[in-house]
Amino acid sequence: MTKKIRLDLGDVQKTLLLPLWGRAVESKKAKPHLIDEAAVRIINQIDFDFTKAAENLDDLTKIGWIQRSLIGDQVIREFLEKYPDGTVVNIGCGLDTTFSRVDNGNLRWYDLDLSDVIELRKTFIKENERRRFISSSFLETEWFDQIKIESNVFFLVAGVFYYFEENQVKSFLLELLNRFPNSEILFDVASEVGVKIANKKVVESSGLDERSYLIWGPKNKKDILAWDARIELLGSYYYFRNRHLSLRNLLMGCISDLLGIQYMLHFKLSGNQKLNK
């Protein structure tokens, strides 16, 4: 038997394992909505007990993870249709495998995360000429200098911002706007109620503790638009609309969408583009 890889991650970083596990579980279904062979391969190699997650997490949580990936794939593909030589930066990449699903053969891709996560990532996923890893907190913006742009740039931030205070997210977004004008960003948010639900029903139910709790939940997406007039909303994506669900899950999903428990926002950061050559 192949020896499994033991993980040495911080408390917040451990949360990256849950959506990875969710994608692996989905991929093994008879009729999966998303196939992520890399997730299956990685889950089979790591030493982590997902028993509590399997026993306690409800269907909507796992569906939400899959929808987040599908929405990300869709929006990035649309971006690459407009800018085939575009640059994508995956902030807080964890063990995400979006690149393999959307690569058009021309894009430039950066995976950014804390050093312990990047070291773990290198165990399973390899860099190449168009795909590079960056070890950094996204808040330490010296990493901006490592981003090379041939066309426009797109930032994917999945499962990250709600672990930080609002002022940290706001400051970062404004720095991003000033450094990469005309860029686009897609990230998921949870409402204040959604943060409480996630901490109780996802974090605790998965066997993680309060050090992995979500923190930030905007009252309304208009609050983000008020941060700067140059921030333009391109789209809002809810998880449970137009899905074939059981009656119970459909009802709970509609309530979740209606209350904005968790969803994704796509913004344009307007201005004059500056290229880093």
User: DSSP letters of 134-171?
Assistant: EES-TTSGGGGGG---SS-EEEEE-S-GGGS-HHHHHH
> pLDDT value at position 274?
45
pTM of this structure: 0.85
**pLDDT digit string, tens, across residues 235-263:** 999 888 766 677 777 777 777 777 777 88
Distance from the Cα of residue 43 to its chain's centroid? 18
Per-residue pLDDT tens over the stretch 85-95:
999 999 999 88
Written as six digits, the tokens of 187 are: 């990230």
- pLDDT beneath 70, residues of the chain: 1-2, 7-15, 56, 193-213, 242-244, 271-277
Q: Nearest to residue 232, comparing CAs of 168, 275, 183?
A: 183
- CA torsion sign, 18 to 21 to 25 to 31? positive
H-run or E-run covering 190: strand 183-190
For residue 46, what pLDDT is reported? 84
pLDDT for residue 275: 43
The Cα–Cα gap between 220 and 225 comes to 9
Retrieve residue 143's tokens: 């990493």
**What is the distance in angstroms between the CA of the first residue and the CA of the last residue of the chain?**
48
Q: For the beta carbon of residue 229, count every other beta carbon within 10 angstroms.
A: 8
Instruction: Round to whole Å and give the CA distance between 181 and 259.
Output: 32
Contact 147, 87 (CB under 8 A): yes
Q: How far apart are CA 262 and CA 268, in angstroms?
A: 20
Domain ranges of the chain: 5-269
Strands (E), 37-182: 46-47, 87-91, 108-113, 131-135, 153-157
pLDDT for position 199: 55
CATH number of 5-269, picked from 3.40.1180.10, 3.90.1300.10, 3.40.50.150, 3.30.70.100: 3.40.50.150
Number of residues that this document lists for the chain: 277
Per-residue DSSP letter, 182? T
Interatomic CA distance for residues 73 and 241, integer angstroms: 17
